Structure 1
Amino acid sequence: IGFEEDTIAKNRTGTQPTATSNVTVAYKGYFTNGTTFDQSDSAGISFGLNQVIKGWTEGIPHFKTGGSGILLVPSHLGYGNNAMGPIPGGSALIFDVKLISVN
């Protein structure tokens, strides 16, 4: 997983989730060509980090509450060779993420 540390490091005092935390995040997911495939609203969505793609389970714990950044998720940490809705199999995924809270 690649992530942009400078952006994530903006908030060094917030709560940091673990791989099993329930979190609320606002995000935008897009392909390497810039086409958006999914996006939350600014209020974000809540979920358990053990219920999402491995790229999020491994990447989001690098954020702290209020922090934001970019996750670059290779296909083997996303959906692998399987298609999922608008996402073709083998796709690398990019997410702009803001960690709103650890619930």
Structure 2
Amino acid sequence: MTEPGTGKQPTATSSVTVAYKGYLTSGKVFDQSTSSGATFPLNRVIAGWTEGIPLFKEGGSGMLLIPAHLAYEDKSVGTIPAGSVLIFDVKLISVN
């Protein structure tokens, strides 16, 4: 965690707005939000986000390094190959 934040802390069932960039260990970016972020319910995303985002408080930022078993396991999704480790730079903007 680069910055833990000082606002509200989400739970695994919170809806959050997060600015993020997701990339593979090769450095290839597979997804990113705008600087204003995207809103997600944490119980409807990959397990790595459900477990990782609640470690931040609003205003917090850092990196999530997500092993395949907490991401898409042995499935290919879009441009993400099966068995991939995912890396996300995230900033928790708000807990909604």
- Aligned twin of 2:22: 29
- Asked if 2 retains the 8 angstrom alpha-carbon contact of 1:70 and 1:95, the reply is yes
Which structure 2 residues correspond to residues 11-90 of structure 1 after superposition, within 5 A?
11=5, 13-90=6-83
Q: For 1:23-52, what per-residue CA distance to the aligned partner results, in whole angstroms no more than 9, with x for missing partners? A: 000000000111101010001110100000
Identity of aligned residues (%): 68
2: CA distance, partners of 1:31 / 1:47 = 21
The DSSP-based 3-state class of the residue aligned with 2:9 is coil
2: CA distance, partners of 1:98 / 1:68 = 4
The DSSP-based 3-state class of the residue aligned with 1:8 is coil
Q: Is there any run of 5+ residues in structure 1 with no aligned partner, and where?
A: none
Q: TM-score, with normalisation over the residues of structure 1?
A: 0.91
1: CA distance, partners of 2:79 / 2:56 = 27
| 1:91 correspondence with 2:90 | no
Q: For 1:36-79, what per-residue CA distance to the aligned partner results, in whole angstroms no more than 9, with x for missing partners? A: 01010001110100000000000000000010000000000000
The DSSP-based 3-state class of the residue aligned with 1:95 is strand
CA RMSD of aligned residues (A): 0.7
Moved over 4 A (4+): none
> How big is the shift at 1:8?
3.4
Q: Is there any run of 5+ residues in structure 2 with no aligned partner, and where?
A: none
- Aligned twin of 1:8: 3
